[in-house]
Chains A and B, each alone.
Chain A
């Protein structure tokens, strides 16, 4: 919400292949979204990438970003989700 920083978490789950990070970061760059941090791991044989992104200078409606990412995910055969960090702070901190 307003008092919090406007940051979000992008997660990519699926089968690993060449160029996933490139494609996702290109899309984010196109809409003025800066990547603060990236980590990736293989969890239960599933490629898992977590990106912390900054929505401060985003150039499209925030609600449209998730649609764009879902579309890209379909093209790449992976699941891409964007969630505002407020969610994780609410669930995992007291």
Chain B
């Protein structure tokens, strides 16, 4: 029997603490959309996405009303386009991005992910074409997200791809400079990319995934922060226990929504991604949550330890609540999308080097960070290389989403609007790493990849 206290606690989570289902993401395999011509392949892609996801938005809204739960986004992830398009022999994959954009609009979703390539060990011809197409594809579309996996613990780091992605990020910034280099906000470079991640911009449906699947991403930094406010001054054991309980409840909401969506859409349920994903709204910040541990501002000493504990406790609570926890699952630390991170970066307390350290223990990486427009491609590749090493050698997912904003420098800021937020331009170490980046080849897989 449910008691009034639990009912009121639940109401407060939704009303005051910004608990929401961040996204219901439908993964759709496009394997059978490969065709000898671009036109035929694009027609198949459009038809298939619309056939499978036509009722996604409506279903999300019905579930939202039934349980009184805000469901913020309905999204689609697809098979990496470098695989789907490889049979058509085209030299430019922009038309594939455009058809994804069109299908996303028809279905009413707000992002579609999967303009992607998996190149951790090397390029196919098609991977090469896809990566070269990214700047134009992101400039020609609004709803398409792109990702490239350049490293994994199993394979090591593809340093050719790391070098090329520095150039591609610069070109993407240039191609979308009239919108503050917005294209770069939709482009992620990964190590150990999960194949079932529902969160953008890094969502795609991996080759090992089923025909169609529902993955749900949940959020709720505000709920965890509120729970911690009740145990101020208590020891870390109490803090860990408190976070676990909050994460358990949040995950159960996600599982409920995922199972109901799966049943209504007649599509199998894949995973719950239990991530603390901040938004620019006050009260929905991971940085403020870290400060609740007892830190004056995010970025000061203790931040990494607090984040490590938070990330771990969130996972432990979530694992108890659902047997199918996957995706990224942990705490996100994007800068522009988090009110507290923006404040910490603007005040100088949070620097790029500290963020890199934090990515050793968070669930993703250097995310939504604006850097000066004149940062060289080699320096961007150097930042990517370091971040990929963190992921590859620690057996975890890491990602880089950097935005070199043309014409802007330290002290300026860039406004993306909506959930993408506002980013202060952060300072970058200018000493050259060009000779390092131009070596090329692969950094071998770490010793602990040899598990067989």
Q: State the A residues within 8 Å of B (CB).
A: 1, 9, 11, 13, 39, 41, 43, 48, 50, 62-63, 66-67, 79, 81-92
**Complex Cα spacing A92 to B248, Å:** 9
Q: Which of B61-69, B276-284, B330-338, B431-439 contacts A (4 or more CB under 8 A)?
A: B61-69
Q: Which of B153-161, B195-203, B254-262, B300-308 contacts A (4 or more CB under 8 A)?
A: B254-262
Judge whether B66 and A88 touch: CB under 8 Å: no
Judge whether A91 and B253 touch: CB under 8 Å: yes
**Complex Cα spacing A41 to B66, Å:** 25
Question: Is B419 interfacial (CB 8 A cutoff)?
Answer: no
List chain B residues, Cβ under 8 A from A82: 68
Judge whether B256 and A86 touch: CB under 8 Å: yes
Known: A50-B7, A88-B6, A91-B10. A81 touches B68 (CB 8 A): yes
Judge whether B252 and A90 touch: CB under 8 Å: yes
Judge whether B6 and A91 touch: CB under 8 Å: yes
**Complex Cα spacing A48 to B256, Å:** 26
4 closest A-B pairs by CB:
A83-B68, A90-B252, A90-B256, A88-B2
Judge whether B2 and A1 touch: CB under 8 Å: no
Judge whether A63 and B62 touch: CB under 8 Å: yes
Question: Can you give 13 A-B contacts (C-beta < 8 A)?
Answer: A9-B2, A11-B8, A39-B4, A50-B8, A63-B66, A66-B65, A66-B68, A84-B66, A86-B256, A88-B10, A90-B253, A92-B6, A92-B10
Q: Which residue of A lies closest to B252 (CB)?
A: A90
List chain B residues, Cβ under 8 A from A79: 15
**Complex Cα spacing A62 to B252, Å:** 22
List chain A residues, Cβ under 8 A from B67: 83-84, 86-87
Other-chain contact of B7, A1, A11, A62, A66 (Cβ < 8 Å):
A11
Other-chain contact of B260, A1, A67, A91 (Cβ < 8 Å):
A1
**Complex Cα spacing A87 to B259, Å:** 12
List chain A residues, Cβ under 8 A from B259: 1
Closest CB-CB distance, A62 to chain B, in whole Å?
6
Other-chain contact of B249, A9, A63, A86, A92 (Cβ < 8 Å):
A92
List chain A residues, Cβ under 8 A from B15: 13, 79
Known: A1-B260, A13-B11, A48-B8. 15 other contacts (CB 8 A): A9-B7, A11-B11, A39-B4, A79-B15, A81-B11, A81-B68, A83-B69, A87-B68, A87-B253, A88-B2, A88-B7, A88-B10, A91-B253, A92-B2, A92-B249
